[in-house]
Amino acid sequence: MTHLGYRCYAKVNLTLEVLRRRDDGYHDLASLVHTISLADGLHMESANTLSSHIEGLDITAESNLVTRAAHVLASTANLSPQVELRLVKRIPAAAGLGGGSSDAATALVGLNRLWGTRLATSDLARLAATLGSDVPFFIDGGAALMTARGEHLEILPPLSGQWLILVTPPHAVAAKTAQLYSALEPTDFSSGAATERAALRLRQRLPLSEEHLFNVFTRAARHVFPGLADAWTAAERICARRFFLSGAGPALFALAVDRADAHRQQTSLAQLGLPAFAARTVRHARTAIRLRPTPPSGTLKRDPRALCLVVQW
């Protein structure tokens, strides 16, 4: 095998509670997290050296997590990292949607196949935790109850086809996750009961409604991200429903009734200049993009829709 291509899915935090600050500077959290259909594309091809190419929106250092993932896997397996990585960004970076983490987990899973390193899922999850707190979740994706620093995961029955409306206000706040955590006050901390309630709904295979959603950063994010409070108010007025932060923000999401509702609201938000997406919940962290075998004299052309290489006969 010399080629692999994947769609790497984003996530939303349906709930996100912080329980306490820890001695190591991190925080213990409780979060109900779910992968959604908004995706980056990650293409890997065997090569003699390691190179990475990043295309698309919102390129930041976060995107380079795929390169770090390649180095971490290669050094664990005692290999020299030989691969050409091509990342096509569609998930807005540093938005709270986990795009960089999803790309990194897919790099670990994909390179484990491409290089034949045969690390067990538990070993990949351990490497993932060294790359970021929510990277382990993206080894499998779907729905999970996330606790501790983010690395303890209880897999839950996923919500099937829950449509969402996403709003992703742009921002330029450096190290925003660390800033948001340090802006928390003890009164923002909670017990994890809201997350347990929402997780119970999934265990019982029941849908969620607005009353089940919660995010600890709701107060702090309005101060840290300039313009977020106005975008939030506008989104709630236009779509006539509540919006919730995902992760440390500034991405916001709301529950949609169905696909048509999600697309209608996305159009209305976009008309007012708010970057918006319609997405639905998905059961996995990634799907493989099928590649046809390269013919000896074939030429390769990029297909931006499929986010992969297709063979032109």
Binding site for ligand C5P (CB under 6 A): 26-27, 29, 132-133, 149-150, 177-178, 181
Q: Cβ of residue 104: shortest distance to ligand C5P, in angstroms?
A: 11
3-state secondary structure of 234: helix
Q: Cβ of residue 133: shortest distance to ligand C5P, in angstroms?
A: 3
Residue nearest to ligand C5P (CB): 133
89 is an active site residue? no
3-state secondary structure of 28: strand
Both tokens of 11, joined, read 């996530």
Q: At what angle do helices 259-271 and 228-239 cross, to 10 degrees?
A: 130
Question: Which residue in 11, 40, 89, 103 is the catalytic one?
Answer: 11
Give whichever of 67 and 177 is closer to ligand C5P, judged by the CB atom: 177
Q: Cβ of residue 22: shortest distance to ligand C5P, in angstroms?
A: 8
Question: Which residue in 89, 134, 140, 176 is the catalytic one?
Answer: 134
Give, in order, the Cα–Cα distances in Å from 264 to each of 161, 165, 166, 248.
17, 9, 12, 26
Give whichever of 181 and 277 is closer to ligand C5P, judged by the CB atom: 181
Strand 276-280 to strand 214-215: parallel, antiparallel, or no bridges (unpaired)?
Answer: unpaired
Q: Report yes or no: 302 and 313 within 8 Å, Cβ to Cβ.
A: no
Give whichever of 65 and 70 is closer to ligand C5P, judged by the CB atom: 65
3-state secondary structure of 1: coil
Q: Cβ of residue 155: shortest distance to ligand C5P, in angstroms?
A: 19
Give whichever of 29 and 208 is closer to ligand C5P, judged by the CB atom: 29
Residue 286 amino acid letter: R
58 is an active site residue? no
Peptide bond into 81 cis (omega under 30): no
- Catalytic residue ranges: 11, 134
